[in-house]
Amino acid sequence: MKILTGAQIRELDQYTIDHEPIASIDLMERASRAITQAITTRFESTTPIVVFAGPGNNGGDALAVSRMLSEKGYIVDAYLFNIHGTLSDNCEKNRDRLKSEGLVHSYTEITSNFDPPKLTQQTLVIDGLFGSGLNKPLTGGFASLVKYINQSTARVVSIDMPSGLMAEDNSANNSAAIIRADLTLTLQFKKLSMYYADCQQYLGKVQVLDIRLSKEYVKSIPSPFSTVDAEYIRKNMLTRDDFAHKGTMGNALLIAGTEGMAGAAVLASKACLRSGVGKLTALTPRCNTTVMQISVPEAVLAIDQENYYSEAVAADEFDAVGIGPGLGKQEGSALALMSQLQQTQCPVVLDADALNMLGSHGTWISQLPDNMILTPHPRELDRLASTTCHSDSERLAVARDMAESLRAYIVLKGHYTALCLPDGNVVFNTTGNSGMATAGSGDVLTGIITGLLARGYSRKNACLTGIYLHGLAGDIAAARVGKECMMASDIIAALPEAFKAMY
């Protein structure tokens, strides 16, 4: 599914109005009914409601919701902020209708000073001050109102976006002037900033409300941002021929583990084998031999004579190579890594210590061959880019630029893992949960992607299928053992069920 900018969503609104066709006030009414339904589903009619409406269309939604809730027997106190004496056309129409019908408990229009109402733990605040069109931080009275709401014990439902939060880039925003909602009822699509970890503190739970905007226009409008879903994964899953044998199902090499880090090699190897690869060779130091042969008897071992990865190996017979889990950061390993990359022709996944070694040798990253797959977490990306990113939007921009300049596939790991493609497009994953924030989870992902590459998936589809199934297995594991108790091995144990769900 595409992720549209705030400007594109306004274009989509207008296209729907022009081509459905539907009057803009009726489209607002449709959206407001969906918002009202979501609120009445969650909150009893005895809940006291305070609505704060801004002067634009977000405020128009809020006033229409005030009217609809009042019709259903809710006690609503509505406040419209008309400081500059200018309301959007639909906001003005909804104000006039609200006043003429006289159903709300109270209506106050603020044109100058404002004495805020008391907000208690029982109060539900409906935030309709500003929506996805905001393009600068809130200041003055609106910033003060946001702080007042946030300091209260009231529950907060935001319409479309928490007021003060911008739809795309919040790197220069004022965090103290952004509503901290308990629930965000966003219209038609999640906005880009909703996929950033540092914006989650403002969103609470997010529910997307379908207000039937034009699907035809969505198909035609370009966007570099999208999400991957089960339909895409199912459509691109490779099938296993009835006459397949291990020689036709892919041959993978994993270079992983150092002294004391055999577990990373075990996890990556098990995940690789669970991903359908026909054969796996694991290159690991001699000190890990016993652990590996007991834990992963299906893998062929290639033994490094040192207690760390010290020498590149011939990779001509392999269909994919994964390098990095538990590899350590010995200088000899760094030299072996670059030698390995220069002589390896098949697809390569770089993770963990492989990325850290690149990051500690500043110019090496520019020497990477095209079409590498890199799977950094945020701090690893910062080290690779030799920078310190101060927001997730800034970090994603760095990852996009890196993917384009290196002609690489950057898998930026997080709750919404983002695949940055060489052509500048970004695809967010939609599976996974916080229980996966556990040691070894990234090693499992490396194993999965390496196995899929060896099976014959393209780099793009190996990454997308890998992150989706990794997250789905995490969701299955969380249902089994709970998020608090999850270990990386639980994700591997759930992989068969995740794969079966996609066939």
Phi-psi region of 100 (alpha: psi -120 to 50; beta: other; left: phi over 0): alpha
pLDDT of residue 496: 98
Residues 6+ apart with CB under 8 A from 13: 24, 27, 213
The answer to whether residue 243 scores a pLDDT higher than 90 is: yes
What pLDDT does 68 receive? 98
Would you state the structure tokens that stand for residue 429, as one six-digit string? 């994953």
Do 184 and 161 touch, CB atoms closer than 8 A? yes
What is the residue-averaged pLDDT of the chain?
97
How far lies 286's CA from each of 265, 334, 340, in Å?
13, 19, 19
At residue 31, the pLDDT reads 98
Query: Token match 């999965």: residue?
Result: 448
Q: What is the mean pLDDT of residues 338-367?
A: 96
Share of the chain above pLDDT 90, in %: 99
Domains defined along the chain, listed by start? 6-223 (3.40.50.10260), 230-501 (3.40.1190.20)
369 three-class SS: coil
What is the three-class DSSP state of 201?
A: helix
26-58 pLDDT per residue, tens: 999 999 999 999 999 999 999 999 999 999 999
pLDDT reported for residue 362: 85
Residue 66: per-residue pLDDT = 98
Give the mean model confidence (pLDDT) for residues 84-102. 97
Distance CA 314, CA 317 (A): 8
Contact 61, 88 (CB under 8 A): no
Question: What pTM did the predictor assign?
Answer: 0.96
Average pLDDT over residues 466-495: 98
pLDDT at position 207, please?
98
pLDDT in tens, 175-230: 999 999 999 999 999 999 999 999 999 999 999 999 999 999 999 999 999 999 99
CB-side exposure of 163: number of CA atoms within 13 Å? 31
